Amino acid sequence: MGGWMLAGIRRGPGPLIGTVVASAAAAVLTVAAISTAAAYTQAPAGRLASASVVVAGSTNVSVTHGSGEDAEHETLPLPAYRGVPASLAHYLAQVPGAASAVGESGFPNGAVRAGEVDLVAVNAKPGVSPDVLASRIRAALHGGQGYTIATGATRGDIANLNAAVERSNGQALAGALIAPIVLISLFVLASTTALAVNLRRRRFALLRAVGATRGQVRRAILAELAICGAAGGVLGWLPGAALGAVGVRALAAHQMLPAGSAAWLSPWLAAIACGTSALVAWLSGQVAARRGSRTAPAQALRETAAERKWPNPLRVLLGILAAGGSGTLMAFTLGQKSAAGQLALAFPLLLACMLAVALLGPLYVAFTAWLARPAVALGGAPARLALAAVAAQPRRAASAVIPVAMAVAMVGTVYFADASIQHATASQAASTVTADNVLSGADLTAATLRQVQALPGVRAAAGVTPVSAAVTDPDLEQAYGEAVTSGPLGHLLDLDVTSGSPAAPRPGQIAVSALEAGSGALGVHTGSRITVYLPDGTPYRATVSAIYSRSLASGDLLLPASVAAGHTGTPPGYSQILVSGGTQAELARLAAGHPGLRVTSRSVANAQSAQAAAQNSFANNLILGVLALLSAVALVNTLVVTTLERRRVLRLLGRVGATRGQAAAVFGWQAVFVVGTGLIAGAAAGAVTLLTVTRAITGSWTPFIPLAPAVSLVAVVAALAALAVMIPFGVMSRRESALTSG
């Protein structure tokens, strides 16, 4: 293919600019996501910097499902040290090549059991390399089963166990972002390239008339798109890298990546960005290129090339299938046993709904235009003209309506699903804690708890501490809950126990939330036996003593505090003591004897926990930001291109005597139609997912939709659409001298 065929890029590349911009946006986000995913900072070895080899109890928990050939291993990094016997240091000092071995304790999340240390630091004799010593130690420990043996940079991960956990969280988040980014970029680019090709139909028809084969036209279009994509990649690299760096810093600040993490900013990223966006542009252009190459050569002879009014029957069929698929997927999602399973299907469900809207867009637009006919009589000639254009070319109008719907569906669903969950969490928290007062701060030990219980008038008091435990539900993952001291919980916590005992679980027992277990993935009921793994990897086999439904605030597991003690990597004691009864004065007197201890009323404590929940939505906000950016690019890009496409109409309006104001009104009414129909379609597509998510997490069909953000979303979409239509209109109308002002 000669470069001459690509001259369209060199000169007058109008429609292709959109493709470049869209590719650039895709590249920006891909680069940001990749550099975030690749963010890799080995935690500093700190105290262990001088040790040749570090030996700790295995820092992972491993579970094997099945047996024989089907056996499947799963491992999960542990948030706390297992602890090794202090005597291990003496044993390792005897290993040939070891100069000395010292048991070390006092690391964050360290073991706090007597006779144990967190890890052993071994120093090599001169001339013995750390790797050689490590392999001898492994042999001395009979293959090292049950231990983590580290040298060099990996010592940092042992010095700071959170690093591994945070890194895997960060990578999971970035990994979760890449798929939607690529999918949505493909969609955005596909619609932009389709428009870019459509705008130049006559050019392709002329090429076909003078003897270009379909293959030549198709290859020229694809080559153009690949070049535009690569150009977009170059443009997107620096902003993408910057965004990645900011993202990594923000994630580290929110403990979702190890502190000090840096984005991966290798020059290779530029090549990856160009390659990815060129590939995405090339892939997304396949349909458009095929359509462009099939342009009938006779179209070169016609003044106004006839465009098909109605969508291809295949598109309609696929649209109906997508709509049916969305319904089926929704039913399937609601039928999933675990909330996690339901949430995992939420994004595919949203995509299926959006696909249905995109495919059935032209029919929807034609129907809406028909419905809008009576109302338009009020808007005068410009409104009538605008509606006539929509009704005559529903396919073309749909290409502008679809990105509006996408933006509303995506951003709205993510935002309002999060808002609904937060709202439910806050309101559950308020009804979960029934204690009159909450003690928090320092010195919340067993002794303090006994003092509180002994205060006159105290009906009940219990210590609670957040705790995590690895569960297989069915994948090995961390579940979060609380460790609570034994005794009746009736006056302190109302977890809405649906079966079993309302008292705190005793040793050998565990209470599980209905979301996690009751009808859920653990597949357990009261009386079932399950095994969970405490933060230091200790297995805890317990009988389910209760199943409760208020889990948004207090978590999915309730463990006896005495079982968790010593296995959580935290100092003994509680994070809160819940108190019912007793007087404020007595509690204040007690607090005076314990520096750092605070007494707060139930309502204040609840307000604080609601605030903490809001801060947790950082990851969600990050996803929201990415989706909003992509949607905005898609929306503006498409509307600008579709407006520029109507230059001929504008010229004609000028020739037949329309004033600039009347022409502006025609374009304005079209923007109104596009925004209105887009909002309705987007709200409908988003509502399906939003309702499903709300139902999955809160058990209620009613999502929480705060008014201000809802109005802002509509206002931003309307403002973007208005700008994307009226700015190109302004530019074009200045060039049309035939338009009279007035």
The contact set with other proteins (CB under 8 A) reads 2, 4-5, 7-8, 10-12, 202-203, 206-216, 296-298, 300-301
Kind of pairing, strands 98-104 and 458-472? Answer: unpaired
Given the complex with other proteins, which of 224 and 516 has the nearer CB atom? 224
- Residue 535 contacts residue 565 (beta carbons within 8 Å): no
In 81-190, beta strands by DSSP E = 84-85, 98-104, 116-117, 119-124, 147-150
Given the complex with other proteins, which of 305 and 649 has the nearer CB atom? 305
Given the complex with other proteins, which of 5 and 63 has the nearer CB atom? 5
Given the complex with other proteins, which of 208 and 660 has the nearer CB atom? 208
Given the complex with other proteins, which of 200 and 395 has the nearer CB atom? 200
CB of 213 to other proteins, least distance (A): 4
Type of residue numbered 473: D
CB of 14 to other proteins, least distance (A): 11
Given the complex with other proteins, which of 208 and 550 has the nearer CB atom? 208
Based on its alpha-carbon atoms, the radius of gyration of the chain, rounded to whole angstroms, reads 32
Angstrom CA distances, 422 to 145, 305, 347, 466, 552, stand at: 43, 53, 19, 19, 9
Given the complex with other proteins, which of 212 and 414 has the nearer CB atom? 212
Is 196 in a helix, a strand, or coil? Answer: helix
Residue of 191, 194, 223 lying closest to 7 (CA atoms) = 223
**Residue partners of 55: CB distance under 8 A and separation at least 6:** 84, 88, 92, 119, 120, 122, 137, 141, 147, 148, 149, 150
- Tokens 């605008």 appear where? 386
Given the complex with other proteins, which of 1 and 381 has the nearer CB atom? 1
- Tokens 């983590």 appear where? 148
Given the complex with other proteins, which of 306 and 378 has the nearer CB atom? 306
- Residue 533 contacts residue 468 (beta carbons within 8 Å): no
- Rounded Cα distance, 393 and 696, in Å: 41
DSSP β-bridge partners for residue 500: 546
Given the complex with other proteins, which of 4 and 701 has the nearer CB atom? 4
- Residue 562, CA atoms < 13 Å, CB-side half-sphere: 9
| DSSP secondary structure of 385-424 | HHHHHHHH-HHHHHHHHHHHHHHHHHHHHHHHHHHHHHHH
Given the complex with other proteins, which of 167 and 218 has the nearer CB atom? 218
Is 195 in a helix, a strand, or coil? Answer: helix
Kind of pairing, strands 476-484 and 458-472? Answer: antiparallel
- Tokens 């360290």 appear where? 110
CB of 296 to other proteins, least distance (A): 7
- Tokens 């065929």 appear where? 5
**490: its two tokens:** 């009736």
Given the complex with other proteins, which of 219 and 384 has the nearer CB atom? 219
Cis amide linkage into residue 77, ω under 30° from 0: no
Given the complex with other proteins, which of 295 and 448 has the nearer CB atom? 295
- Rounded Cα distance, 627 and 452, in Å: 50
Residue of 567, 521, 518 lying closest to 544 (CA atoms) = 518
CB of 8 to other proteins, least distance (A): 5
Q: How many CB atoms lie within 10 A of CB 605?
A: 22
CB of 362 to other proteins, least distance (A): 20
CB of 310 to other proteins, least distance (A): 14
CB of 4 to other proteins, least distance (A): 6
Given the complex with other proteins, which of 302 and 734 has the nearer CB atom? 302
- Rounded Cα distance, 279 and 365, in Å: 32
CB of 648 to other proteins, least distance (A): 13
- Residue 55 contacts residue 88 (beta carbons within 8 Å): yes
**688: its two tokens:** 């399906």
CB of 16 to other proteins, least distance (A): 11
Given the complex with other proteins, which of 246 and 301 has the nearer CB atom? 301
- Rounded Cα distance, 64 and 531, in Å: 13
CB of 395 to other proteins, least distance (A): 19
Given the complex with other proteins, which of 11 and 142 has the nearer CB atom? 11
The helix or strand, by DSSP H or E, that contains position 601, with its residue range, turns out to be strand 597-601
- Rounded Cα distance, 367 and 388, in Å: 13
Given the complex with other proteins, which of 207 and 587 has the nearer CB atom? 207
Burial level of 629, CB count in 10 A (0-12/13-18/19+)?
Answer: middle
CB of 258 to other proteins, least distance (A): 52
CB of 305 to other proteins, least distance (A): 10
CB of 711 to other proteins, least distance (A): 45
- Residue 463 contacts residue 623 (beta carbons within 8 Å): no
CB of 1 to other proteins, least distance (A): 10
CB of 426 to other proteins, least distance (A): 60
CB of 221 to other proteins, least distance (A): 14
Helix boundaries (H) for 482-617: 561-564, 584-592, 602-615
CB of 294 to other proteins, least distance (A): 9
- Rounded Cα distance, 399 and 448, in Å: 67
Given the complex with other proteins, which of 142 and 648 has the nearer CB atom? 648
Phi, psi at residue 255, to the nearest 5°?
A: 55, 30
Angstrom CA distances, 440 to 448, 484, 592, 627, 659, stand at: 11, 14, 13, 39, 71
CB of 215 to other proteins, least distance (A): 7
Angstrom CA distances, 45 to 30, 112, 152, 164, 659, stand at: 32, 21, 9, 13, 74
